[in-house]
């Protein structure tokens, strides 16, 4: 296929250059020449940072091969070398970056978004790009201020080394009974042979790669998407259910009773284990997590650090704080303890299975003694991108004016005597994200109704 590029001043929709990745509807903002110019911009950014070796991968979406091909052509035009890992889960690309020492990486993915979306995650020097760096990249493209050169193109199958690494890290004494649901995303063809080689007794759900996602969207934060996993665990009396998102970097867990264990509860389990051997260590978590997480970290002798939501932001904060563990309510879980410090749902699930194997406990029992607050799941309210940040700012001003105690680390988190409520602008979707937590069900209902009614006034 010959791809021709128009010579004109690049017109960008700056809204697709989000806080920690590029994300858009393909037909509106990612088809045509943009991926080629994005490749030239990224190659330029890499060269100006004193680097030149880029690896690239992509998820299983139908638009990914075309976008990836154009990105590669653009990068090569800057003189950077490109190694194509082809279709892989995001953690496999990140593993390749660390394991082989590439200077930079690009992952073409829209993660859990519907099929019409696609996007790009970017890493330079083992640091995920976010914020100003992504805006600087957009500036380079708009100005067509590109480096030039002739790069070399290579292909490399990195999955076998990833599998060998995992097989070397994990061994299980007993046959755990597990269900896995990859939602027809990119991860199925990687995790199925891994679990088989590890001797795990598992029931696979929707592990075939299918970019139409015919059964449910691969988003384990949405309870509706976990119904089949719950049923499989209960009907077959399994130890645990593991759900994964579209590109394999987020984990959802169902315990043996069929209940959802959100990311903050998983962090409690991991923190208990890590803080036993590393007392005084820091644990980084996002603003949506339960107060119970902070309490358990402190009880276990650790230092809790609340930070902004977003895979690049949590990862960067972990590096700054030298924290061995980090995570988000959404199921992004980061281990710098015996691993590379990026979000890998496969590694996170195997760490959890290892804890079950070593303790002999049931999954639900891993949270015995933890105070249970009442909370909502993530509530997403569709709001145009051009309005969502202004609405959050208006709400912050309103609650500040009422003399409420607030945190504005990310959005606005309002504290009440019997709970808290959070609203923040999603960095991946045209939406506001709301979560409420309280001491009891009555307080939760009261705070939730008041908070949502207040938000509704600004929509």
Same fold, 14-157 and 160-260: yes
Distances (CA, A) of 395 to 1, 89, 163, 453: 51, 38, 47, 12
Please choose, from the candidates 256, 221, 246, 408, the residue with its C-alpha nearest in 3D space to the C-alpha of residue 331: 221
The answer to whether 374 is a known catalytic residue is no
Q: Which two tokens stand for residue 13?
A: 């929709």
What is the per-residue pLDDT across 306-362, written as a single tens digit (0 to 9) for each? 999 988 999 999 999 999 999 999 999 999 999 999 999 999 999 999 999 999 999
Distances (CA, A) of 403 to 53, 397, 445: 52, 10, 22
Rounded to the nearest angstrom, the gap between the alpha carbon of residue 118 and the centroid of all alpha carbons in its chain is: 15
pLDDT at 421: 98
Which residues contact residue 325 at a Cβ distance below 8 angstroms, ignoring those fewer than 6 apart? 267, 270, 271, 274, 281, 283, 284, 318, 334, 335, 336, 337
Distances (CA, A) of 91 to 59, 149, 166, 211: 11, 30, 12, 19
**Which residue is catalytic, options 112, 332, 351, 435?**
332
* Residue boundaries of the structural domains of the chain: 14-157, 160-260, 374-456
Burial of 437 (0-12, 13-18, 19+ CB in 10 A): buried
* Spatial contact of 420 and 407, defined as CB atoms under 8 Å apart: no
Options 3.40.1280.10, 3.40.640.10, 3.40.50.300, 3.30.310.50; which CATH number does 374-456 get?
A: 3.30.310.50
Per the confidence metrics, is the pTM higher than 0.95?
A: no
**Which residue is catalytic, options 18, 111, 128, 330?**
111
* Spatial contact of 174 and 357, defined as CB atoms under 8 Å apart: yes
- CA separation for the pair 332, 330 (Å, rounded): 6
Which residues contact residue 317 at a Cβ distance below 8 angstroms, ignoring those fewer than 6 apart? 284, 305, 307, 308, 323, 326
> Which phi and psi (to 5°) does residue 188 adopt?
-50, -55
pLDDT at 10: 60
User: Residues, the chain, total?
Assistant: 459
- CA separation for the pair 414, 428 (Å, rounded): 23
Query: For domain 14-157, is the CATH number 3.40.120.10?
Result: yes
- CA separation for the pair 218, 238 (Å, rounded): 21
Beta bridge partners of 406: 414
**Which residue is catalytic, options 23, 112, 216, 435?**
23
pLDDT at 8: 44
pLDDT at 1: 38
Work out the number of other CB atoms within 10 angstroms of the CB of residue 116: 14
> Which phi and psi (to 5°) does residue 356 adopt?
-60, -40
pLDDT at 9: 56
* Spatial contact of 249 and 260, defined as CB atoms under 8 Å apart: no
* Spatial contact of 64 and 108, defined as CB atoms under 8 Å apart: yes
- CA separation for the pair 356, 292 (Å, rounded): 21
> Which phi and psi (to 5°) does residue 120 adopt?
-140, 130
Beta bridge partners of 414: 406, 421
The answer to whether 111 is a known catalytic residue is yes
The residue ranges of the chain whose pLDDT is under 70 are 1-10
The answer to whether 435 is a known catalytic residue is no
pLDDT at 153: 98
Please choose, from the candidates 46, 40, 34, the residue with its C-alpha nearest in 3D space to the C-alpha of residue 78: 40
Class of domain 160-260 (CATH, top level): alpha beta
* Spatial contact of 225 and 377, defined as CB atoms under 8 Å apart: no
Rounded to the nearest angstrom, the gap between the alpha carbon of residue 153 and the centroid of all alpha carbons in its chain is: 29
Burial of 104 (0-12, 13-18, 19+ CB in 10 A): buried
């Amino acid at each position: 296929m010959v791809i021709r590029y128009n010579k004109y001043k690049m017109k960008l929709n700056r809204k697709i250059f989000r806080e920690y990745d590029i994300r858009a509807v393909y037909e509106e903002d990612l088809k045509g020449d943009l991926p080629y110019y994005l490749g030239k911009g990224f190659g330029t950014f890499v060269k100006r940072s004193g680097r030149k070796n880029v690896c690239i991968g992509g998820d299983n979406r139908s638009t990914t091969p075309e976008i990836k091909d154009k990105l590669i052509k653009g990068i090569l035009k800057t003189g950077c070398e490109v190694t194509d890992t082809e279709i892989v889960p995001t953690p496999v690309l990140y593993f390749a970056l660390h394991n082989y020492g590439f200077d930079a990486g690009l992952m073409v993915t829209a993660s859990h978004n519907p099929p019409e979306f696609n996007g790009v995650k970017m890493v330079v020097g083992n640091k995920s790009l976010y914020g100003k760096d992504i805006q600087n990249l957009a500036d380079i493209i708009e100005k067509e201020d590109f480096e030039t050169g002739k790069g070399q193109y290579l292909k490399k199958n990195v999955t076998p080394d990833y599998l060998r690494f995992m097989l070397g890290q994990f061994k299980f004494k007993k046959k755990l009974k597990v269900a896995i649901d990859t939602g027809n995303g990119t991860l199925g063809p990687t995790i199925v042979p891994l679990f088989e080689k590890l001797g795990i007794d598992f029931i696979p759900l929707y592990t075939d790669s299918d970019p139409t996602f015919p059964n449910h969207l691969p988003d384990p934060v949405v309870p509706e998407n976990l119904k089949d996993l719950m049923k499989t665990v209960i009907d077959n009396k399994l130890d645990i259910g593991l759900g994964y998102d579209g590109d394999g970097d987020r984990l959802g867990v169902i315990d043996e009773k069929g209940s959802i264990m959100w990311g903050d509860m998983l962090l409690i389990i991991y923190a208990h284990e890590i803080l036993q051997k590393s007392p005084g260590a820091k644990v980084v978590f996002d603003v949506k997590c339960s107060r119970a997480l902070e309490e358990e970290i402190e009880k276990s002798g650790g230092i809790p650090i609340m930070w902004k939501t977003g895979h690049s932001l949590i990862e960067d904060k972990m590096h700054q704080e030298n924290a061995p563990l980090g995570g988000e309510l959404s199921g992004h879980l980061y281990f710098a303890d015996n691993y590379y410090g990026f979000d890998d749902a496969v590694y996170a699930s195997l760490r959890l299975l290892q804890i079950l194997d070593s303790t002999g406990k049931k999954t639900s029992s891993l949270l015995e003694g933890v105070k249970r607050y009442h909370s909502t799941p993530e509530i997403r309210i569709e709001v145009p991108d051009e309005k969502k940040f202004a609405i959050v700012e208006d709400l912050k001003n309103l609650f500040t004016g009422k003399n409420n105690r607030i945190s504005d680390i990310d959005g606005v988190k309002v504290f009440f005597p019997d709970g808290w409520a959070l609203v923040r602008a999603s960095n991946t979707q045209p939406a506001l994200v709301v979560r409420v937590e309280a001491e009891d069900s009555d307080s939760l209902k009261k705070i939730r109704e008041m908070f949502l009614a207040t938000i509704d006034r600004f929509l």
